[in-house]
Chains A and B, each alone.
Chain A
Amino acid sequence: AAGVIQSPRHLIKEKRETATLKCYPIPRHDTVYWYQQGPGQDPQFLISFYEKMQSDKGSIPDRFSAQQFSDYHSELNMSSLELGDSALYFCASSLLGPEGTDTQYFGPGTRLTVL
């Protein structure tokens, strides 16, 4: 079965540079979530989109922005990168049913290293 695709899988950037992470949801899924997982930490929700509109916002820095495009893929744009942004970034997708019933399927993640 098709899974969530994320690219790139690994990314190395210098401080103050910008990065763009891409997420391709499972076909026919209408909702995309972004999570950040720092070293030794649990995944933390950043932002989500339903039908190309932002639906929820978590602990996402103002330096980060995201959007979902007409083909439902999503991009997370990160600017003025800081050392503390080094983490695994996961995208998850779901087909949104009645609240509380959607199952989120996670991608393999993008490992961002900021030097």
Chain B
Amino acid sequence: LAKTTQPISMDSYEGQEVNITCSHNNIATNDYITWYQQFPSQGPRFIIQGYKTKVTNEVASLFIPADRKSSTLSLPRVSLSDTAVYYCPLRPNNAGNMLTFGGGTRLMVKP
């Protein structure tokens, strides 16, 4: 069963780059890696998605090694508004498209 492991929490300061790593040893061969950001009492917000190597958009970069057993979300120059929980949910192997959320990473950005 696909399962993810992330650090429970991370602290950073405004303007710094933050890297959050997610381990997913049993990721399905055809599954994409997707990261979400969630603020309290709000729905998870899509950040970035990729299959392998590196993907970059206007808010983040996603690094995926060749074995795809982990991925790293990189947030450049964080601000206070980036304080949130970050998830890298996966789909269960050969069992549908639903997302399985493991414990996310609570990022605290300090001034």
A108 to B40, CA, bound (A): 11
Q: Are A111 and B41 in contact (CB under 8 A)?
A: yes
Task: Give the contacting residue for B30; candidates A4, A43, A88, A99; CB below 8 A.
Answer: A99
Q: Are A105 and B102 in contact (CB under 8 A)?
A: no
How many residues from B make CB contacts under 8 Å with A? 26
Task: Give the contacting residue for A45; candidates B36, B41, B98; CB below 8 A.
Answer: B98
Task: Give the contacting residue for A107; candidates B34, B43, B49; CB below 8 A.
Answer: B43
Task: Give the contacting residue for B101; candidates A43, A88, A94, A100; CB below 8 A.
Answer: A43
Chosen A-B contacts, 10 in total, with CB atoms closer than 8 Å, are A42-B87, A43-B101, A55-B97, A88-B41, A90-B43, A99-B30, A101-B32, A103-B46, A107-B43, A109-B41
Q: B interface vs A, CB < 8 Å?
A: 28, 30-32, 34, 36, 41-46, 49, 87, 89, 91, 95-104
Q: A interface vs B, CB < 8 Å?
A: 4, 31, 33, 35, 42-45, 48, 55-56, 58, 88, 90, 92, 94, 96, 98-109, 111
